[in-house]
Amino acid sequence: MEFFFVFQLLVLLFSVVVHEVSHGLMALELGDHTARLAGRLTLNPLKHIDPIGSVALPLLLSLIPGGVVFGWAKPVPYNPYNLKDPKKGGALIALAGPAANVVLALVFALAYRAGGGFGAVEPLIASVIIINIALAIFNLIPIPPLDGSKILFWLLPRGTEAAQAFLERYGFIILLVLIFSGLNFLFPAVEFLFRLFVGV
C-alpha cells in the first residue's frame, strides 16, 4: 500500500511537470520566450515544485480518509504582451497543459491494451491513466487560476468583465472548497474516459 501511494505521488509530480512544460512550449511556439529564459522548459521537477501545491497539499489530502490526492506545480510564466492575440494565445497556452495530460493518458492506455493489463502491474498503469485524466478534467474547470478559466474568458463576450473580476477575486477560495469537498463530481467523467481509453 505504501509503495502504491509513493508511486501515485511520483506519477502526479511527473504529470504536473509535463503539464506545466507544455504550457511553456506552447507559449514558445506563439512567440513568447519567458518560460525558456526562466529555465522552466525542463522536466527537472526541482524547477517546478511548489511548496504548497506539490508537497503540503498532497500530503494533507492523503491523511483524509477516502480523499483524493491532488496537487499542482508552479505555473510556468508567460508574457501576454509577446502574443499577437493575448486572449486567444492565453487560451491556447492554457489548453496545452490538459492536452498533454490527455496524450499521456492515451499513451499509457494503448500500452495497457497492448499488454493485456500487464498482470501484476495493471493497477500501476491504470493509476497513471486515471491521474492524467483527472488532471486534465480538473484543470479545465473554468475557475481561476485553473486553465479552464483562461479558455472561458476568451470565449465570453464583451460585457462580462464583472463576472470575470468576481471569479478572479474569489476563484482560489472556490477552488479550495472544491478540493476539500472531495472532488466527487470528477469521478463519473474520469471513470467514463478511463473505460473509453482502455476499452473496458
What positions carry a catalytic annotation? 20
Q: Are 87 and 81 in contact (CB under 8 A)?
A: no
Q: Are 182 and 68 in contact (CB under 8 A)?
A: yes
Q: Which set of grid coordinates corresponds to residue 26?
A: 506552447
- How many CB atoms neighbour CB 185 within 10 A? 11
From CA 24, how far away is CA 2, in angstroms rounded?
33
Helix (H) or strand (E) holding 195: helix 187-198
Q: What distance, in Å, lies between the first and last C-alpha atoms of the chain?
A: 25
From CA 172, how far away is CA 194, in angstroms rounded?
28
From CA 189, how far away is CA 167, in angstroms rounded?
24
- CB contact burial 143-170 (16+ within 10 A = b; e otherwise): bbebbbbbbbbbeeeeeeeeeeeebeee
Q: Are 22 and 97 in contact (CB under 8 A)?
A: yes
